[in-house]
């Protein structure tokens, strides 16, 4: 099996970062290359998921404050509208109609 470092489709940058020119649909040299390519893509997917989780951790306090504020506002709205509901229920119990 050819190692990636020995393949002409692998290039090393000045910082030591590898750049793969292989494409699984056109120029894979060996079957093992496909498995390596899948692992690289899976690693990229996991890295993007982890960065998304970091953003969620940063937004969590703001989201909690927003939810508390919305809950308070909804409770205040219910409190201000309660007199209408209490009055309507009282009329229905007495049998009074307008």
Cβ atoms of residues 12 and 6 within 8 Å: no
Q: Residue 35: what pLDDT?
A: 86
CA dist 82 and 89 (Å) reads 11
Q: Residue 70: what pLDDT?
A: 95
| Count of structural domains within the chain | 1
Q: What is the pLDDT of residues 33-88, one digit of tens each?
A: 888 888 888 999 999 999 999 999 999 999 999 999 999 999 988 888 877 766 65
CA dist 77 and 71 (Å) reads 10
CA geometry: angle at 27 spanning 22 and 33, to 5°?
60
Q: Residue 84: what pLDDT?
A: 75
Give the global pTM.
Answer: 0.54
pLDDT over 80 (residue 91)? no
Domain that holds residue 38: 4-94
């Amino acid at each position: 099996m050819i190692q990636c470092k020995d393949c002409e489709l692998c290039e090393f940058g000045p910082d030591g970062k590898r750049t793969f020119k292989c494409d699984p649909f056109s120029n894979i040299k060996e079957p093992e290359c496909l498995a390596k390519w899948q692992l690289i893509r899976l690693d990229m997917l996991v890295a993007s998921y982890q960065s998304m989780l970091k953003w969620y951790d940063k937004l969590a306090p703001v989201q909690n404050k927003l939810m508390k504020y919305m809950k308070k506002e909804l409770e205040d709205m219910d409190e201000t509208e309660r007199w209408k509901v209490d009055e309507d229920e009282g009329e229905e119990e007495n049998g009074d109609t307008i």
